[in-house]
Amino acid sequence: MHASPSPRFDTIISAGALAALRHGHPRDVLILDCSFELAAPHAGRRAYDRAHLPGAHFVDVEHVLSKKGRPDQGRHPLPDAGTLAGQLENLGATDDMQIVVYDRSAGMFAARAWWLLRWLGHRAVAVLDGGFDAWQAAGLPTTTGMASPPARGTLSPRPGDMPTIERTELLTHVRAGTAIVLDARSPDRFRGENETIDPVAGHIPGARSRYFQDNLDARGHFKPAEQLAEELGALLDGSRPVVSQCGSGITACHNILALEIAGLPGAALYPGSWSEWCAHPDLPVAVGT
């Protein structure tokens, strides 16, 4: 008798469902720890070393989920697709594998990994809902041991369904009012207050504030799909294309994930986001609401 195929998750997965998947199909699941802190780049690795999900491999936001770029390209340019695929293959990723990503920051970095894998064309990737805290709260085991070196996988980059938009095209939309731009940064940074990360305060003219934390409930889990659809749908008009941006293209992916959960797919990521936009003095800047 053949074992039943493991279920596939392509947005979020609960701690209980992941535990069951690992128990029933351990070789079919790859878990990636994406823990990171913007103000302390090495903190994520230290947190992983203290405790992580059994079998999880650590992936660094700045060295795997981003690449180094010029200052005018933003703080976290997208990695090269082939390079990223090779790094994931070294962790055992294969085309038919369920991949689960998590962090300790409300999914803000895990969502970037989710988006990148979908960008590569890998649909069976999900964010652990509630992250490391939810796993612990469920009483599930953690470990300090390094994951065993995996057999190298084969991950074939394929055109995915995750569109991007570049600065010049976005500027055309901004001037014409032909796109809805959602800004995932905190409301105060959107308004141009308390900017401590980028050299210029403010936002892209015409953008609408949708703080990524507003996608979550009080426990740090994603809100139900119906609630997200109501809240996010109120910011859209159903006709204009949607562009998601933030400070450097990280938390913008959280809003894209929330839109997917809500049944509102298709938003384009502006990878350079505000950190690229404000590096070009010729581009317009707005402040306030």
Residues 148 and 88: beta-carbon distance below 8 Å: no
175's CB contacts (< 8 A; 6+ apart) are none
Q: Determine the angle formed by the axes of helices 110-119 and 81-90, rounding to 10 degrees.
A: 110
Note the maximum CA span of the chain. 66
Tell me, yes or no, if 253 is annotated catalytic: no
Residues in the chain: 289
Mapped onto helix, strand or coil, the DSSP state of residue 44 is: helix
The one catalytic residue in 34, 246, 253, 278 is 246
Amino acid (1-letter code) at residue 83: T
23's CB contacts (< 8 A; 6+ apart) are none
| Secondary structure (H, E, C), 195-212 | CCCCCCCCECCCCEECCH
φ/ψ region of 130 (left if φ > 0, alpha if ψ in -120 to 50, else beta) reads: left
87's CB contacts (< 8 A; 6+ apart) are 59, 64
Between CA 146 and CA 152, with CA 147 as vertex, the angle to 5 degrees is: 135
Mapped onto helix, strand or coil, the DSSP state of residue 236 is: coil
Q: Which residue has the tokens 């992941």?
A: 18
Cα–Cα nearest to 184, from 103, 133, 242 = 242
Mapped onto helix, strand or coil, the DSSP state of residue 274 is: helix
Query: What separation, in Å, do the N-terminal and C-terminal C-alpha atoms of the chain show?
Result: 61
Catalogue the active-site residues: 246
